[in-house]
Amino acid sequence: MRGAPRTSAIAAVAAVAALTLAACGGNGGEPESGGSGGGGDEVEVFTWWAAGSEKAGLDALVGVFEQQHPDVTFVNGAVAGGAGSQAKDLLQTRLQAQDPPDTFQAHAGAELQDYIDAAQIESVTALYDEFGLTEAFPSDLVDRLTADDGEIYSVPSNIHRANVVWSNPQVLTDNGIDPAATYADLDAWMADLDKLKAAGVTPLAVAQAWTQVHLLETVLLADLGVEGYSGLWDGSTDWSGPEVTAALEDFEKLMGYTNTDRDGLDWPESQQLVIDGKAAFTVMGDWAEASYVEQGKKLGSDYTAFPVPGTDGVFDFLADSFTLPVGAPHPDGAKAWLETVGSAEGQEAFNKAKGSIPARTDVDMSTFGEYQQSAAESFKSDAIVSSLAHGAAVPVATLTAITDATSKFTSGASDLAGFQSELAAANAG
C-alpha cells in the first residue's frame, strides 16, 4: 500500500464542505454511490463490538453520532466473537449474497485489501477531502490505508497495540515475584512463569484459537526482531528456517504455562482470570485496558501493562476502520457514520472508552488515562510493525490457514515440525 499526495488547499475546501455536510444532517446533496437510494435516514453498522467494554466503546461513538446526525437512525449490526472470529465469516456470506450492511468494521492493511480486490467496498477518497481527513491522520497511517490504485477505502476509528502483557500485581507479590519487574527477553520471563507454575498458579491466561495466534505473533516478534518479523510478511524471512523453529519452541513452552480450558473461552474471560487473580499474566491487545477501566481497576495497584518481553520499543500495530460497501442500502447514512468516525469528537469519545488511541493527531491526550497516554507516546517513538492476528499483516485466507495450523498444534494434533511446515505453506499460498 502506498500514499497518495493531497494538498492542504484541498483539505481546507474539504473542511468547509464537511461543515456544510454536517449542517445538512449528513445528506448534503451527495451523489449516490450505491444501493437503491440516498438512504440517509438510517445506517446499519456491522462490527464485532457486541458486549462488555467493546460495546461501551461503540455506545460512546453512537452517542456522538446521534448528536452530529440526529436524523439518521443507528442500527446495531454487531456480531459477538473477539477479533471478528464469528463476524468475518458472516460478513462474507452477506457480501456474497449482495446483502451488505451499510458500513462494516475492517482492519487497516492486508485485510482491507481483500475487500478491495473482491470489489466489495468503494473508494472513500472523496470523503477524505470532504471531511479534511488526510491532514488529520498521520501520513504513515494514510499510506497503510491507501491501496495500490491510489484510492483510500476506509476511515480509521482508532489504533490498538497488540504486544502488551497484563499482570495481576497481587498474584505476583503473593508468589515472591516483584510486580515492577521487567524482563529483557522471553527466557527471563519464563523463569518467573516457572515459579508460578511450581506454586500451582496459572502463569499465563489464554483463550480460543485467535488469542493463541495473538500470542504466537508476539513471540515471533520477540524472537525475530522487527526486521525478521516484518520479513515473514514480505517473504524475506524464511518460515522454514532455524530462527522460526526457535520461536515456535518458545511458543510451545509458553503454551505450557496456560489454562487448559482455553479453547472454550474468549478474550474477556481469559482477561478476567487475571483481573480476578486466578492467573498471573496474559498477552492481549490494549482493548484489555478498557475492561480494567470498566471495572474501576487502577493501573499500578490493580494491574500492570508492559510490552511483551523482547519487544520493548516496538509497537505491534492494528487499526479498526469503517468502509462503504458496494451496494450499501443506505450510502448516505454510511457517509454520515464515516464522518462521525473520522471526527475529533467521535475519536475522543470512542477511544477513551475503547482503550485505544485516536487515529487523528489533533485529539488532546491529556484527558486520557495513563496507559493510553503512554501508548500514544510509544506510537510516536517506537518501531511500528503490523499485527498478524488483527488483519494488518496478511489477508484473511492466510490468517485462517495460520489459525487452523495453530489450533492443530496447541490441541496436540500436530508436532512442531508439522506446525512449522503448515505455517510455511499458509504463507506461501
Distance set, CA 54 to CA 9, 47, 103, 315, 334 (Å):
37, 10, 18, 21, 21
Q: How many residues bind ligand BGC (CB under 6 A)?
A: 12
Any idea what DSSP says for residue 314?
A: E
* All cell numbers assigned to 289: 485496558
Site string for ligand BGC, 153-182 (x = CB under 6 A): -------x----------------------
Buried (b) or exposed (e) across 158-197, using 16+ Cβ within 10 A?
bbbbbbbbbbbbebbeebebebeeebeebeebbebbebbb
Residue 320 binds to ligand BGC (criterion: CB under 6 A): yes
Smallest gap from Cβ 274 to ligand BGC, in A, equals 16
Residue nearest to ligand BGC (CB): 287
Residue 316 binds to ligand BGC (criterion: CB under 6 A): no
Site string for ligand BGC, 38-77 (x = CB under 6 A): ----------x-----x-----------------------
Residue 390 binds to ligand BGC (criterion: CB under 6 A): yes
Which C-beta is closer to ligand BGC: that of 6 or that of 107? 107
CB 385 within 8 A of CB 315: yes
Strands 279-283 and 202-205: what pairing? Answer: parallel
Cα 46 to Cα 333: distance, rounded to the nearest angstrom: 13
Strand, helix or coil for residue 74: strand
Which C-beta is closer to ligand BGC: that of 122 or that of 289? 289
Site string for ligand BGC, 70-109 (x = CB under 6 A): ------------xxx-------------------------
Distance set, CA 268 to CA 21, 171, 290, 411 (Å):
39, 19, 11, 21
Residue 289 binds to ligand BGC (criterion: CB under 6 A): no
Smallest gap from Cβ 49 to ligand BGC, in A, equals 7
Residue 384 binds to ligand BGC (criterion: CB under 6 A): no
Which residues form the interface with ligand BGC (CB under 6 A)?
Answer: 48, 54, 82-84, 160, 267, 285, 287, 318, 320, 390
